[in-house]
Chain A
Amino acid sequence: MAAHATYSYDVLVIGAGGAGLRAAIEAANAGVSVGLICKSLLGKAHTVMAEGGMAAAMAHNDDRDSWQVHFADTMRGGQYVNNWRMAEIHAKEAPDRVRELEAWGAVFDRTPDGRINQRNFGGHRYPRLAHVGDRTGLELIRTLQDHTTYLGVTVHMEHTVIELILDGGRAAGVLAYDRERGRFHAFTAKAIIMATGGAGRAFKITSNSWEGTGDGHALAYRAGAELIDMEFIQFHPTGMVWPPSVRGILVTEGVRGEGGVLRNSEGRRFMFDDIPDNYKPQTAADPEEGWRYVMQDKTARRPPELLTRDHVARCINREVKAGRGSPHGGVFLDIAWIKEKISDAPGHIKRKLPSMYHQFKELADLDITTTPMEVGPTTHYIMGGIRVDADSQESTIPGLFAAGECAAGINGANRLGGNSLSDLIVFGKRAGEFAAQLARKSEQPKLDDGAVERALNASLAPFERGNAGENPYKVQHDLQDAMQALVGIVRNEGEMQEAVKKLAGFNERASRAGIDGHREYNSGWHTCIDLRNLLDCSEAIALSAIERKESRGGHFRDDYPDKVAEFGTFNISTRRQADGTMKVSRLPLKEIPAELKQVIEEQKQ
């Protein structure tokens, strides 16, 4: 069987979240032909769910802010295993990228003097997040989507890429199926940009949408690209825990930015009990100072609820394990209490956090203006991904670029809230620019018919097995349970080794997955295909986590609970070998230039 149709573009973008759209805009503006493929309808990508805001040192709310402070905050948050060049570019370019959105029609919340308003967020020294209430992601994606509409980009919606095809070691094209009819489509391109987002669906409790199956990570990996930092998963401290069907759905950090506090079942603000030394100089001494910070008093330091996500998540985990949790296995997040401090607190809360108000009212029958929420950690973001060149975003495969959550480097061991949306537009733009540049000086590659046919036939195998094969949903659930239990928020050698064994079993079951019915919009079939990607990502996560025998950022091991200086000198990389097995190695970090080192030192006080 051959593909139903073949398309050729100069630049092909896979993914229509913030990163993919921004890349497509840049490439189209450079005058090359651009194709855009996404699994869902346009405007529905995971980016739409982002709430709190995007970080950019515009210094509107505090003129002490600058790219240097943003850079230092990002490096500290990432525990210094970040790609420093990416962190530098990001801090320097984010303000321009945000302003550009305004020129394209985005309507951010305003400061009293009419500029873009910026809010406080965990790990950011000054108010830095440009936002629109708590629906910043929607504003970002809609602005980019509407802007793209007029640029002549060809969009292939509800198409899923299942194979990345090389030609002489260079990225040459992809094979995809469309959901509607289940037909296959081949694409060739002179440059390909992966912007496929995250892999949260490898875990049972996650804030990610169904699309987060790590496709880009896995497609690139299977084609030979290097992945790094896969052990670093961000567990967001505040996901919903009740009712069970909404477990994992995100409760934005914005709640804490607006004064929300965490309490255990004894009513204690337990975050004051455990403040890491390197954050002590910047953390409030008592609740009173914390509140002044929320009120934007520049002499006050931030409350401990706004410490980095990895730390807050572990503190919550500890309270629950110690039996001081809430009735459904979380802790309490209370924003209603601010009525003691301000008049019309309910009105204020609804204005500042409208979708949170909505979400709890409709999904949990709970009014957050009167009642504390129950929250607990949820798998949120993957710091690890495709290794790229900091300036161009090109991966280790020539002609293949990556941007956004599926690329790695900027966040190191832990991402600061708000740094993803800005990452998408900063590096989305760069990927688009450099991909277009490469395309202009390249020939249209040829797709190897044999490779297309092999990929196509392999993807149809589940139909031959039919209902007699393994139920793909069941394999997926079992995988999610295993990853959650064994490679989750607190890890150790024994459990992770067990996970690796189990993964082998899941791989074997996945290769026997079967499905009945037709190819039209068949979710069961799609799940069979997604499984491969989830499994490759899970293996990379587990093997990298085993290799990192220390605790750092999002990676915490109770058998190695401390940070070890030696492990701060390299990233862990995973790569597919010729025999199909995964090779794990240590990739030394590049030396930080003296002037950037100095920036970091200056900000340590």
Chain B
Amino acid sequence: MSQATFRIWRSEPGGGSGAFTNYTTEISEGMVVLDAVHKIQAEQAPDLACRWNCKAGKCGSCSAEINGKPRLMCMSRLNSLDLNEPVTVEPMRTFPLIKDLVTDVSWNFRVKKGLKKFKPRKPDAADGTWRMAQRDVDRVQEFRKCIECFLCQDVCHVLRDHDKHEEFIGPRFLLYTAALEMHPLDSDDRLQDLKDKNNIGYCNITKCCTKVCPEHIHITDNAIIPLKERVVDRFYDPVTRLLRMITG
């Protein structure tokens, strides 16, 4: 057994002010950051707040910033971290703090409510069912792997630094929109909304979202860029063509 020190954000009740507190605890082989947080909770700080459910990287509850990087606590093995220094564990900084490691992510649920829902075309067969080839659903299935951990939202500078929560839906919901737009059965059209309401144009393809996605979804390359291309094709192409004609 060896020991490691964790520098964990503790807040005052009611959010607002807070500070890091150091906790030193025993660690054993295979432990992840969430195990350490649980151990600290059970032995030293019973009122330490953190969210978790599955402890297997499947539910997207335990998002936090570990040594400054947005990650799932349950999938961050201690042997992947430098334990000679205290390991910093703090809440996602893009969302309002509730307590300690827990943030208010309700904005995300509101954003989803404002997006157009799935609208299937008429069934293909008399029994009310559809036919789809596996190769036609591969892409959408990649997008539907999303566990709604909101780490991509946490890291996107449009939200994190520029606070555009009212105008920009963030990578998670661009991906969600892409999953609907590219769904072989969907018959609605979201391009106007993407351009005007959701401001896909704010994304300048830094790919930070893709880098932190625990599901390894190619958010930018496979979802956002194709959506941007569709928007451009629909709304801007004639203009660029016109420009090209004038400037020769």
Contact A521 B100 (CB under 8 A): yes
Decide if A135 touches B145 in the complex (CB within 8 Å).
Answer: yes
Interface residues of B in 146-190 (CB under 8 A from A): 146-148, 180, 183, 185-186
Q: Interface-forming stretch among B111-119, B191-199, B202-210, B240-248?
A: B111-119
* A302→B133 CA distance, assembly (Å): 28
- Tell me the bound Cα distance from A393 to B55 in angstroms: 32
Q: Within the assembled complex, what's the spacing in Å between the Cα atoms of A133 and B75?
A: 20
Q: What is the minimal beta-carbon distance from A236 to any residue of chain B, in angstroms?
A: 14
CB–CB B145/A244 < 8 A: no
The answer to whether the Cβ of B126 comes within 8 Å of any Cβ in the partner chain is: no
How far is B57's CA from A456's CA once the two chains are assembled, in angstroms? 35
| The residue from B31, B53, B109, B148 contacting A245, defined by CB atoms under 8 A apart | B31
Chain B residues whose CB sits within 8 angstroms of the CB of A243 once the complex forms: 28-31
Stretch in B18-26, B44-52, B82-90, B221-229 with 4+ CB within 8 Å of A: B44-52
Interface pair A49/B112, CB less than 8 Å apart: no
Q: For B57, what are the chain A residues with a Cβ–Cβ distance below 8 Å? A: 355, 358-359, 362-363
- The answer to whether B59 touches A245, judged by C-beta atoms less than 8 angstroms apart, is no
Contact A46 B53 (CB under 8 A): yes
Binds B, one of A100-108, A368-376, A532-540, A542-550: A100-108
- Nearest chain B CB to A108 CB, angstrom units: 8
User: What is the 8 Å Cβ interface bit string for chain A, positions 215-250, against chain B (1 contact, 0 not)?
Assistant: 000000000000000000000000000111110011
Residues of A within 8 A of B13 (CB): 518, 520
Which residue of the partner chain B has the closest CB to A211? B53
B120 contacts the other chain (CB 8 A): yes
* Complex-state Cα separation, A180 to B132, whole angstroms: 44
Contact B59 A49 (CB under 8 A): yes
Among the 9-residue stretches A109-117, A185-193, A486-494, the one with 4 or more Cβ atoms under 8 Å from chain B is A109-117
**Complex: A151 Cα to B200 Cα, angstroms:** 27
Contact with B along A36-70 (1 / 0, CB 8 A): 00001111111011000000000000000000000
B81 sits at the interface (CB 8 A): no
Provide the residues of chain A in CB contact with B50, threshold 8 Å.
Answer: 523
Interface size on B, residues (CB 8 A): 61
Chain A residues near B30 (CB-CB < 8 A): 242-246, 363-364
Taking a contact as CB atoms under 8 Å apart, the answer to whether B117 and A149 are in contact is: yes
**Contact A524-B46, Cβ < 8 Å, known A209-B53, A249-B55:** yes
What B residues does A242 contact at CB under 8 A? 30
A138/B47 contact (C-beta < 8 A), A109-B134, A149-B113 known: no
A497 in contact (CB, < 8 A): no
A412-444 to B contact mask, C-beta < 8 Å, 1/0: 000000000000000000000000000000000
* Total cross-chain contacts (CB, 8 A): 173
Q: Give the distance in Å from the alpha carbon of A552 to the alpha carbon of B238 in the complex.
A: 72
Report B-chain residues with C-beta under 8 Å of the C-beta of A209: 53-55, 59
CA distance A149 to B110 in the complex (A): 10
Contact between A114 and B47, CB atoms less than 8 A apart: no
A521: shortest Cβ distance to chain B, in Å? 4
* Chain A min CB distance to B94 (Å): 16
Q: Which of B89-143 contact A (CB under 8 A)?
A: 98-100, 102, 104-106, 109, 112-113, 117-118, 120, 123, 128-134, 137, 140-141
Is A520 touching B58 in the complex (CB atoms < 8 A)?
Answer: no
Residue of B30, B35, B186 with most partner-chain A CB within 10 A: B30
Q: Given A110-B133, A210-B53, is A244 in contact with B47 using a C-beta cutoff of 8 Å?
A: no
Q: Are A110 and B137 in contact (CB under 8 A)?
A: yes
Are B42 and A473 closer than 8 Å at their CB atoms?
yes
Closest to A50 in B: B58
* Contact present for B46 and A473 (CB under 8 Å): yes
Chain B residues with Cβ below 8 Å from A362 are 57, 75, 77
Residues of A within 8 A of B134 (CB): 109-110, 117
Contacts of B117 in A (CB 8 A): 146-147, 149-150
What residues of A have a CB within 8 angstroms of the CB of B131 in the complex? 113-115
Q: Please indicate the chain B residues that have their CB under 8 angstroms from the CB of A355 in the complex.
A: 57-58
Contacts of A102 in B (CB 8 A): 129-130, 185
What are the residues of chain B within 8 A of A180 when measuring CB–CB?
98-99, 104
Residue B67 is within 8 A (CB to CB) of chain A in the complex? no
Give the distance in Å from the alpha carbon of A509 to the alpha carbon of B242 in the complex. Answer: 80
Pick from B109, B180, B183, B185: contact of A42, CB below 8 A. B109
User: Complex Cα distance A146/B30, Å?
Assistant: 36
| Least distance between B46 CB and chain A CB atoms (Å) | 3
Give A516 to B47 CA distance when docked, in angstroms: 7
Q: Which residue of A lies closest to B146 (CB)?
A: A142
Partner of A48, one of B55, B59, B183: B59
A29 within 8 A of B: no
11 A-B Cβ contacts within 8 A?
A40-B61, A46-B54, A48-B58, A99-B128, A99-B129, A105-B118, A107-B137, A138-B145, A210-B53, A363-B56, A521-B102
8 closest A-B pairs (Cβ-Cβ)?
A243-B30, A524-B46, A114-B131, A517-B47, A521-B49, A105-B118, A473-B42, A110-B134
List 6 additional A-B contacts (Cβ < 8 Å) besides A102-B185, A110-B133. A41-B105, A109-B141, A110-B134, A138-B145, A210-B53, A471-B46
Q: Which residues of A contact B (CB under 8 A)?
A: 40-46, 48-49, 99, 102-105, 107, 109-110, 113-115, 117, 132-133, 135, 137-139, 142, 146-147, 149-150, 157, 180, 209-211, 242-246, 249-250, 355, 358-359, 362-364, 471-474, 477, 515-518, 520-525, 527
